[in-house]
């Protein structure tokens, strides 16, 4: 095959993909504009002073100051996500364990070892103690 024909086929393939992407942007851009215009036409017209006041989610608008959430909530959420995501990897391993044999077992033992080390580290740092 001649080199120029090869590049032409690659260019034609990429051009087809680009047209699909362009059409997607065009369609969804048009849809966005239609939805904004429908909101302007069909949305509420009257303003209410209560609706115009600032409101923080879960905090009444009469409250002067919003107290910050203690760091322990974030720490517990982060540790939960960390260990929860790590445990998700057990399911694919369980599906291929018999096919892979000892290799899968050694890899999972190393993986569990890292998880246990992370758990012990978090425990020693007091991450699981609610009140300090």
pLDDT on residue 19: 81
CA 35 → CA 27, 38, 46, distances in Å?
12, 5, 20
Question: In 3D, which of 129, 5, 1 has the Cα closest to residue 71?
Answer: 129
Could you report the per-residue pLDDT of 72-83, keeping only the tens digit for each?
A: 777 778 888 888
From first to last of its 132 residues, the chain has per-residue pLDDT tens of 555 555 555 555 566 677 888 889 999 999 999 999 999 999 877 877 777 776 666 555 555 666 676 777 777 788 888 888 888 888 888 888 788 888 888 888 898 898 889 889 888 888 777 775
Strand partners, 59: 56
Q: What angle do CA 27, 30, 31 make, to 5 degrees?
A: 85
Question: In 3D, which of 25, 127, 45 has the Cα closest to residue 82?
Answer: 127
Q: What angle do CA 52, 56, 58 make, to 5 degrees?
A: 120
What is the C-alpha to C-alpha distance for residues 31 and 33, in angstroms, rounded to an integer? 5
Helical ranges in 65-132 per DSSP H = 71-88, 90-100, 102-124
pLDDT on residue 82: 80
What percentage of the chain has pLDDT greater than the value 90? Answer: 15
């Amino acid at each position: 095959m001649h080199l120029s024909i090869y590049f032409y086929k690659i260019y034609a393939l990429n051009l087809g993909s680009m047209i699909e992407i362009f059409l997607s942007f065009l369609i969804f851009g048009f849809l966005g504009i239609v939805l904004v215009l429908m909101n302007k036409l069909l949305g509420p017209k009257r303003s209410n002073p209560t609706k115009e006041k600032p409101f923080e989610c879960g905090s009444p608008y009469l409250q002067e100051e919003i107290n910050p959430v203690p760091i322990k909530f974030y720490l517990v959420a982060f540790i939960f996500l960390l260990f929860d995501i790590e445990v998700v990897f057990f399911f694919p391993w369980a599906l291929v364990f018999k096919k892979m044999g000892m290799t899968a077992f050694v890899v999972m033992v190393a993986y569990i070892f890292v998880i246990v080390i992370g758990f012990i580290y978090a425990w020693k740092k007091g991450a699981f103690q609610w009140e300090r």
